[in-house]
Amino acid sequence: MPPVAKPKRPDARSPFVFEVREFGRRPGAMRQFDRDLPAGQLIGGEGSSLDGLYTAEGADLLLDLRLESVVEGVLATGRVSGSLVAECVRCLDPVEVEVDADFQELFYYDLEDLTPEELEEAVSVVEDLLDTEALVRDAVMLELPLQPLCEPDCPGLCPECGASLAEDPDHSHETVDPRWAALGALKDASDS
């Protein structure tokens, strides 16, 4: 099997990075963390599929994380919760979306012992640092609705003029099929 490329060292200043040096590869060691995470860092930025759909101006997500040392590495079990703001896909009004996502992932000490199939999905402890950003982002993304709605029966906007149908449910436009426009012109000519 070819040698495994060493992952890049995470930035220890990131709120998503945790130091596990004190575990010393001793199974049974455990630490609990509660942190506020900047939601904007999770959903913003280039390449983020959430950028533009959800906003997190000044919002934080609460991370409750338990790190346990096991023989193979460090088991990260946690929950991320908070709220984000989205636009209703029908009426474009702001909608507050609650997030409450659980996750669990094993961060391996040594990737060399893994099969090629296991290696594709594996994450590792790099220089006694554990980067949970991708793990938390995936948990949050799976929890968010793809099409946020302000109400399940939101009528949306008028396709002709963009008026809110919730504010004026009787809103309508008289539309003439363009294929009959020539007959309408003949009728108008015969009426005069």
The parts of the chain modelled with pLDDT lower than 70 are 1-7, 43-53, 56-58, 114-122, 192
Give the pLDDT confidence score for residue 191 in this predicted structure: 74
The answer to the question of residue 10 being in a domain is no
Domain match, 30 and 82 both: yes
Domain match, 186 and 111 both: no
Q: What is the Cα–Cα distance from 51 to 128, expressed in whole angstroms?
A: 31
Give the pLDDT confidence score for residue 120 in this predicted structure: 67
Give the pLDDT confidence score for residue 50 in this predicted structure: 57
pTM: 0.74
Q: What is the Cα–Cα distance from 109 to 72, expressed in whole angstroms?
A: 6
Give the pLDDT confidence score for residue 104 in this predicted structure: 96
Q: What is the Cα–Cα distance from 153 to 133, expressed in whole angstroms?
A: 35
Per DSSP, the three-state class of 128 is: coil
Give the pLDDT confidence score for residue 47 in this predicted structure: 43
Q: What is the Cα–Cα distance from 55 to 65, expressed in whole angstroms?
A: 24
Domain match, 63 and 109 both: yes
Do residues 103 and 119 lie in contact, with contact meaning Cβ atoms separated by under 8 Å? no
Domain match, 38 and 84 both: yes
Task: Report the domain count for the chain.
Answer: 2
Beta bridge partners of 99: 82
